[in-house]
Structure 1
Amino acid sequence: MAKVSFEGVRKVYDNGQVAVHGASFEIADGELMVLVGPSGCGKSTLLRMVAGLEDISAGTLRIGDRVVNDVAPKDRDIAMVFQNYALYPHMTVAENLAFGLKLRGHDKAEVQRRVQGAADALGLTTMLDKLPRAMSGGQRQRVALGRALVREPEVFLLDEPLSNLDAKLRHTVRTEIAQLHRKLGSTMIYVTHDQVEAMTLGQRIVVLNEGVIQQIDTPMALYDRPANLFVAGFLGSPAMNVLRGVLHQDAQGAAWLRLGDGTEVPLGAAMVAPEWVGRDLAVGVRPEHLQPATGEGAFAARIEGIEPVGNEMFVNLRLGAQALVIRVAPQALPQVGQELQVAVRPSALHFFDAASGNRIEAHGAG
């Protein structure tokens, strides 16, 4: 296996469109790194540059210690799994798994060893004689994974491999990919637009938007300390509530935010810097950190919808012009159209500069 290093890697198309703006980061040997972001953010372009399917406009790309900018795809020792499986329909599972190995001139015994090893690892041993059309989507995706696995490459590249599967199959195959990575200890780069996949699979995550890296960190570090409003809003379901207004604080240290329509939201004893007072801020609060409450610090918001989803409920609220979502355990609540008293957890607030969208920290916070 090998590490993968991006050093100022940039991709500009002939029409002048910049797909990737100077990406610099390293994927460790044996790490499962997820590239995540909305459509058109540059994540698949980065993956295709590692695969050699896209030219690099500037910068240096290394696999291990070797610069691969001008190395042909077949000589990079990588294996790629695509979202559409790309299986040969007239070949059995065994033949699909073996095809690439035979092209590379491996002897019969080595082909058999690798095919059997991949089949064992992915639960395909009883399906080796089946054609792809006789298999479910999840089974076909496992064959696609197996075809990459038999290569025994330095780096696995996975380009939205679950996007064609239904929700149940996505969960199953996602679990299988995580187990496979733990078993192999392989370097894997996984591209997805699905933040749930990113959070559950990635040891670290690269968050991209419009070709620019927004933040790189572990899943929970991204969730707990997003670097900017884009990351804050992209990771988490339901998304983080963002309140925009002017910050105020009384002599006793209690803070509140006055929204644009004059509505005031108590922030309690949130840790704020003195220089923030009187300044336009964006204050983020996760749905689980805005809860039904009474007494000091609570404020009334109108219930616009209640979504029970089994072990929890999402409650959609309206506070003046501001929409809010809270996540609560199943419980009795006022009816839609009535008011609910809620309060924020002051220690769990996120503060961002309103103009730049970047995270700001009070001295001594976190």
Structure 2
Amino acid sequence: MATVSLEQVRKVYPNGHVGVDAASFDIADGELLVLVGPSGCGKTTLLRMIAGLESISSGTLRIDGRVVNEVAPKDRDIAMVFQNYALYPHMTVAENLGFGLQLRGMPKAEIARRVSEAAQLLELAQRLDAKPAALSGGQRQRVALGRALVREPKVFLLDEPLSNLDARLRLTMRVEIARLHRRLGTTTIYVTHDQVEAMTLGERIVVLDGGRVQQIDTPMRLYEKPANLFVAGFVGSPAMNLLRGTLQRQAGWQLVMPHAVLPLGDLPTQAAALAPWQDRAIVLGVRPEHLQPATPQASVFEAQLEVIEPVGNEVFLNLRFGEQAIVSRVPPQQLPASCSSLPMGLDTQRLHFFDADSGLRIG
């Protein structure tokens, strides 16, 4: 196992495009860290730089305290699992698992021991003689993981390993990867564009956008205290409702939008932080679960109910307030018909406020 440290790591391509800009963070020994962000945000480029498959334009990369900027991939003691399984179709599962060790000249007895242990761990012991074509998608993914596992590396690098699987199998493999990491305790860096995958797997998450690190935190801290508008809108499903307007105070705080006014009440715990933003443009963030139907007496505002989406254990209400589309997440319940007016209430202790210009969190 090992620590990984990045100090102002940057990747600039010959055409001038900045793939990764000044990435700095440390990965603890045995930690499972997730890199997440939309396509093109730089997460795979960053992973490939750690692997040695992409050169580093500037900055310093250390693995277990050793600077590895110029060290060849084979000498970094890492193992990578790619998005496509990259299995040799003419080899059996056992041969695929042990091929890398064979290339390194490892004794046959040691190869057999490691392959057997990995196969038992990944429940592949009964499929060692099978070719990849005879395996299911989940089994192929486990072979790809096992091929990295037998190396007994200091660091595992996983590049969107579940993206080729169907939704049900992704859930199963996600649990298997979490269980495997808990059992092995190997330092692991996991890349995904799926924020649900990131939230359920990562001990910490690095959120990237446009090649820059937006926030590094635990899953729940990212959800509860997003540092900026990008993180607020990216983390969470359905996404946070973001309403732009001018913050005013007239017998309580209110958000004045082009076609509606949203009353916010006294906001006693946030008033001091919001005072400098009075009469300025801000963005108000509300998670769907903190926006709930209310009785007319307790109503904060009236919204138009447009579409009801029942998904079993919860219901998504697609609403319109003025010109703003918003979403509420509620438990299954009796609801009025679509196209009717619905009184809604806000959990004012769970509101998020952002500077409209910089996008940074207020308070």
TM-score by length of 2: 0.97
Alignment partner, residue 186 of structure 1: 186
Alignment partner, residue 342 of structure 2: 340
- Structure 2 counterpart of 1:290, which letter? L
- Structure 1 counterpart of 2:257, which letter? L
> SS in structure 1 opposite 2:334?
coil
Alignment partner, residue 263 of structure 2: 266
* CA apart distance, 1:65: 1.0
Alignment partner, residue 115 of structure 1: 115
Whether the 8 Å contact between 1:138 and 1:165 is mirrored in structure 2 is: yes
- Distance of 2:347 and 2:266 partners within structure 1: 9
Alignment partner, residue 254 of structure 2: 256
- Structure 2 counterpart of 1:346, which letter? T
- Structure 2 counterpart of 1:259, which letter? M
Whether the 8 Å contact between 1:269 and 1:346 is mirrored in structure 2 is: no
- Structure 1 counterpart of 2:249, which letter? Q
- Structure 2 counterpart of 1:269, which letter? D
Deviations 1:56-75 (A, max 9, x none): 00000000111000000111
Are 1:331 and 2:333 matched, yes or no? yes
Alignment partner, residue 45 of structure 2: 45
The within-5 A match list for 1:95-244 is 95-244=95-244
Whether the 8 Å contact between 1:45 and 1:54 is mirrored in structure 2 is: yes
- Distance of 1:283 and 1:297 partners within structure 2: 18
* CA apart distance, 1:224: 0.2
* Moved beyond 3 Å, runs of 4+: none
- Distance of 2:302 and 2:126 partners within structure 1: 60
Alignment partner, residue 285 of structure 1: 286
* CA apart distance, 1:16: 0.5
- Distance of 1:121 and 1:346 partners within structure 2: 48
Deviations 1:11-32 (A, max 9, x none): 0000110001111110111000
- Structure 2 counterpart of 1:230, which letter? F
- Distance of 1:260 and 1:77 partners within structure 2: 57
Deviations 1:215-263 (A, max 9, x none): 0000000000000000000000000000111112234xx32111122x0
Alignment partner, residue 33 of structure 1: 33
Deviations 1:88-130 (A, max 9, x none): 0011101100110111111111111110111111111111111
Alignment partner, residue 356 of structure 1: 358
TM-score by length of 1: 0.96
Deviations 1:280-313 (A, max 9, x none): 1100000000000022452111111011000000
Alignment partner, residue 364 of structure 1: none
Alignment partner, residue 301 of structure 1: 303
Distance verdict in 2 for CA 1:304–1:72, change over 3 Å: same
Whether the 8 Å contact between 1:266 and 1:297 is mirrored in structure 2 is: no
- Distance of 1:140 and 1:268 partners within structure 2: 56
> SS in structure 1 opposite 2:49?
helix
Are 1:91 and 2:91 matched, yes or no? yes
Alignment partner, residue 247 of structure 1: 247
* CA apart distance, 1:147: 0.3
- Distance of 2:64 and 2:128 partners within structure 1: 34
Q: How many residues align?
A: 358
> SS in structure 1 opposite 2:90?
coil
- Structure 1 counterpart of 2:261, which letter? E
Whether the 8 Å contact between 1:20 and 1:211 is mirrored in structure 2 is: yes
> SS in structure 2 opposite 1:189?
strand
- Distance of 1:124 and 1:118 partners within structure 2: 8
Whether the 8 Å contact between 1:80 and 1:157 is mirrored in structure 2 is: yes
Deviations 1:134-189 (A, max 9, x none): 11111100000000000000000000000000000000001000000000001000
* CA apart distance, 1:204: 0.2
| Contiguous gaps of at least 5 residues in structure 1 | 362-366
Q: Which moved more, 1:73-82 or 1:289-298?
A: 289-298
Whether the 8 Å contact between 2:4 and 2:63 is mirrored in structure 1 is: yes
> SS in structure 2 opposite 1:191?
strand
- Structure 2 counterpart of 1:302, which letter? Q
- Distance of 1:275 and 1:296 partners within structure 2: 29
Percent identity over paired residues? 68
Whether the 8 Å contact between 2:299 and 2:343 is mirrored in structure 1 is: no
| Contiguous gaps of at least 5 residues in structure 2 | none
